[in-house]
Amino acid sequence: MSQITVVGSFSMDMTVTMEEFPQPGQTLIGKKLIKSPGGKGANQCIACARLGGDVEMIGMLGNDENAAVIRDLFLQEGIVIDHVLTTEKEPTTIALIEVNQAGQNKIIVVPAANFCYTVQDLLKIKPVLAKTRLVVAQLEMAMEVVEKLAELCEELQVPLILNPAPAVPLSKELLRRVTILTPNETELAILAEAPTENLEQIKAAAQKLIDQGVQNVVATLGDKGALLANREEVTIIPGYPVKAVDTVAAGDSFNGALAKALVDGKTIKEAISLANAVGALTVTRTGAIPSLPTLHEVEAFLRQWEAKQ
């Protein structure tokens, strides 16, 4: 059995690059269209694998050409997909992504096959979850699946990293079962129902989630790094400021790296520091999965960074 199990989403990403985002009712000429596999779950899984992680992917694909491309990619990456299912009801999920010249992105996901994965499907892989060391999940599957996954992780005493994206308010029952919650600033504001416009507000919002039962909140803050909050401390783990080309998959690469580092035995602070570096390197490249770095590339990035300091 794999050390890390990612239960989550697939998609085929259709990414359009442009100077500026269009205004409502406005038509613009884009620069480039890129079609590539993605989805938060898939991105996190591949990010982990490229860093040397022993990882399995769980989820649902359609019975179509996009699914065949995704399956081939996962096999090439050496990822176990024995429990990736196929549905005839819906096509493989599509994500429509806009990226402007500043590297900012806007994303619309059409759930399709991802939402066809059911609680009954999840219960069938309980033996897989029982033997893994860490589970990673997101919110691009049906909420009842995410809630049951958290319940199973608690029962099996398997740590759960939950990347709460796309963010929606979560129940206290779900929050208290999360080992590490990894929102960005916007997602943190939605989850805590509190402003996150400055560091003090971010700390207060994270503390609110800790008070609701989350064991650790790791809020990603872009090139400023990440905030770690738990019942013992609230601290900032510094980031690696770089020139962002495309921020798509930055958070996903962070989560994949965090999972791999924790399974390797690093402390949570050490794991966050490595994840910050992986996220920084990811945003210097375009695309989702094409931007995810290997362990060798991350080590080279860190050596170059240290040499400049």
Please list the active-site residues.
Answer: 252
What is the number of alpha carbons within 13 Å of residue 256 lying toward its C-beta?
Answer: 35
Record the tokens describing residue 274, joined without a space: 């490595």
Phi and psi at 215, nearest 5°, equal -75, -45
CA distance linking residue 288 with residue 135, whole number of Å: 21
What 3-state class would DSSP assign to 29?
coil
CA distance linking residue 256 with residue 183, whole number of Å: 14
Return the sign of the alpha-carbon dihedral for residues 247, 252, 253, 257: positive
CA distance linking residue 217 with residue 234, whole number of Å: 9
CB 291 within 8 A of CB 248: yes
